[in-house]
Structure 1
Amino acid sequence: MSQESANIVICGAGVAGIAVAFHLAVRNGLTDVILVDERPPLTLTSDKSTECYRNWWPGPGDAMTAFANHSIDLLERLAHETDNAFLMNRRGYLFATEVNGAALVEAARETTSLGAGELRYHSGSATDYVPARPQGFEGSPDGVDLF
């Protein structure tokens, strides 16, 4: 076994570890970075992703929403720089409930008040609903649509 050293050692070659290594080495020009994992990159849980992401994070506080918004901004920047090589899309999540709809409405209000985008209410035959595009991420609505 060879011995290597580095000023920065990242443990884990999952999506988070690779993202950290990328930003340190490529974005910040650090050259003394090493990524360590006993498995091949992206093979434990990262390759089983549903490729879903969201900024729907009720409090306390806006820390998780702000973190998610920043992460989404970074993903969009990378998508622009690579001509969307990783096929980013903004199709969103669907939360549904048969009971206690008031709790879901309150969660939507809280989430949007913390920075998750606009809260849009739709009732009946909502003609003002704008769905996300089937592919891509540009021009898709942000926020929450409540039916």
Structure 2
Amino acid sequence: MGRAARRQLTSGLRLGRAVRRRLTGGGADRGANPVELAVVMPAILVLLFASIQVAAWFVARATALNAAQSAVNAQRLYEAPAGAGEARAVDFLTAAGDWLVGWDQPGPACVTDVAEVTCTVSGDSLSVIPGVSFPVRQTAHGTIERWTTG
């Protein structure tokens, strides 16, 4: 074996040893990843559940607002019977699913005066955290349709 071949072989062996040492040596950081993950994972889970809860609260809020708007649209019609708005809101909330919990106690409420109708829907958001409730209350306003001259 010539001198050049021997030099190539030894440099290849040195490179192999250096790579092996780098991959298996580890030193003081050896086993740190599981510990870091154990420290960070609870924070990640809290953020995950918090984001799901915020999304559920926004969906419940949108559901309550749409039910209130639907009630106002039913109650503001010309010569609408009393209770038409509440009935429409109940129909909407029954079909909407369980995003808004407890909406039926005391139920949607509509107040009508001479020119305006105001409907309010309230309840609690669907909760990811047991025993914790997130209240939702939405109100919609509208003018009552009527005949006018001129």
TM-score (norm 2): 0.24
State the structure with more CA Rg: 2
Higher relative contact order (CA 8 A, sep 6+): 2
- Higher relative strand content: 2
